Structure 1
Amino acid sequence: MTVGTTNLHTREKWLEAALSAIPAGSRILDAGAGEQGYRRFCSHLDYVAQDFAQYDGKGDAKGLQTVVWDQSRLDIVSDITSIPEPDASFDAIMCVEVFEHLPDPLAALREFSRLLKKGGTLILTAPFCSLTHFAPYHFYSGFSRYFYRTHLDACGFEIVELVENGNYFEYLAQEVRRIPTVADLYVGKRPRLWELLSVRVVLHMLARFCRDDRGSSELLHYGCHVRGVKR
């Protein structure tokens, strides 16, 4: 039973396909690259990694933290809204699961518009709903399809693909699976055996509903995957 476990896998498969479609030799900026987890999909590209390099894995010890975080291989250390590169200096930009960590994501979009060549590709993903993570650098819980439709157009982009990852039942299943970990962290207790069995029952129910889903992603989902082109 995989319901509630496919968020990352689905996002990475979409990213791999989107990046593979960019012509070989194109110059791509990984904005907010962090540990450069998706550099592996860019072997055919001229890859440039940027990040502000202030997150250390521990943050303020609130919410979900990574414990360790290695940003020693960055090409550019700067604010994402002021990247020291000339206008129209990139053929493509990707910004993966970063927007919730930016105080001003619209300023980042305007900077991406400045940096991209006409006809260049913008690849974005961000959660629609997220738990507190990487605090204190967690400013938004998520972004809807309407955010992208409104603000990408205003910043000079045409959306050519917008995919919602997951649906209401998958998102609930993801969080139901997280209950033992969160209970241990914030209550200091683990669920009893009968409670764990109840969790299994709920997951089976959610899996059944998910198989017959008719568009509940309009209500809740993991996050949007967006591909835009600079006009």
Structure 2
Amino acid sequence: MTAVGTHNEKTRVAWLEKTLQRIPAGSRILDAGAGEQQFRRFCTHLNYVAQDFGQYDGTGDVRGLQMGKWDQSNLDIVSDITAIPEPNASFDGIMCIEVLEHLSDPILAFREFSRLLKPDGQLIVTAPFCSLTHFAPYHFYTGFNRYFFEKHLNACGFRVDELVENGNYFEYLAQEVRRIPNVAERYANIRPTRLETYAVRLVLSMLGRFSARDKGSSELLHYGCLVLATKK
């Protein structure tokens, strides 16, 4: 079966690892909304600080997609992301990975990041263009496009240096087509028939063929934005 629709996380993580390696050794970096600190492994050359509000327990309100278990017992800072108890200009870099959709006011978070960063400090952000309900009740936005970042990062004192649109329209549709069997079983209490399973494979094959010849459909829809910005 074609791999279309399976590259979202792999591409995002590879970009993040490469971007973090470009930050000079010894720099102090804040992982804002760090969760279980899964990206700490890319920061061994940095002075890593993990922050989160620490209230998500893995089950949330049970609705939508939940993790089941969630361990936040090893955070350095437990606080609201818009009021982090650190002095002005106390970090060389900040990363905020797949967090914005869980914030009731992401623009306030950008302002806080601007306060916390030294001049020329770097902000690394990724966020979905569109997302299913997850980590509820802490899920407030379905996603963000390039115009959100270009407008609000600039207004909060940042220069966008790199903005990558991860995936494209066909890749995103394929990702969701792959979810159909599980969603059908959970919400309709039914499993696809043999013919329906074949239809899913046929659609994935079609989407893979279209994606291979894609020429810019990411402007309509994609997995999410990968952003590197500098504090002006």
TM-score between both structures, scaled by the size of structure 1:
1.00
- Residues 1:181 and 2:144 are matched in the alignment: no
**What corresponds to 1:164 in structure 2?**
165
**What corresponds to 1:52 in structure 2?**
53
| Residues 34-74 of structure 1: per-residue CA shift (max 9 Å, x gap) | 00010010000000000000000000011000010000110
In 2, Cα distance between equivalents of 1:187 and 1:161: 42
| Structure 1 unaligned spans of 5+ | none
Give the Å deviation of 1:98.
0.2
**What corresponds to 1:2 in structure 2?**
3
| Residues 156-207 of structure 1: per-residue CA shift (max 9 Å, x gap) | 0000000000000000000000000101110111101110000000000000
Equivalent position SS for 2:10: helix
- Residues 1:113 and 2:114 are matched in the alignment: yes
**What corresponds to 2:31 in structure 1?**
30
1:1-231 aligned within 5 A = 1-231=2-232
In 1, Cα distance between equivalents of 2:224 and 2:41: 22
Instruction: Report the RMSD for the aligned CA atoms in angstroms.
Output: 0.3
In 2, Cα distance between equivalents of 1:57 and 1:26: 32
Runs of 4+ in 1 over 4 A off after TM superposition: none
In 2, Cα distance between equivalents of 1:182 and 1:21: 40
Give the Å deviation of 1:87.
0.2
Between the two proteins, the alignment pairs up a number of residues equal to: 231
Equivalent position SS for 1:203: helix
Give the Å deviation of 1:96.
0.1
AA in 1 matched with 2:70: W
| Structure 2 unaligned spans of 5+ | none
In 2, Cα distance between equivalents of 1:199 and 1:6: 18
Equivalent position SS for 2:125: strand
| Residues 62-92 of structure 1: per-residue CA shift (max 9 Å, x gap) | 1000010000110000000000000000000
Equivalent position SS for 1:92: strand
In 2, Cα distance between equivalents of 1:83 and 1:137: 19
Give the Å deviation of 1:209.
0.1
Equivalent position SS for 1:48: strand
In 1, Cα distance between equivalents of 2:121 and 2:143: 25
In 2, Cα distance between equivalents of 1:89 and 1:136: 31
% identical aligned pairs: 70
AA in 2 matched with 1:7: N
Equivalent position SS for 1:189: coil
Equivalent position SS for 1:33: coil
Equivalent position SS for 2:85: coil
AA in 1 matched with 2:37: Q
TM-score between both structures, scaled by the size of structure 2:
0.99
In 2, Cα distance between equivalents of 1:6 and 1:190: 25
In 1, Cα distance between equivalents of 2:74 and 2:161: 32
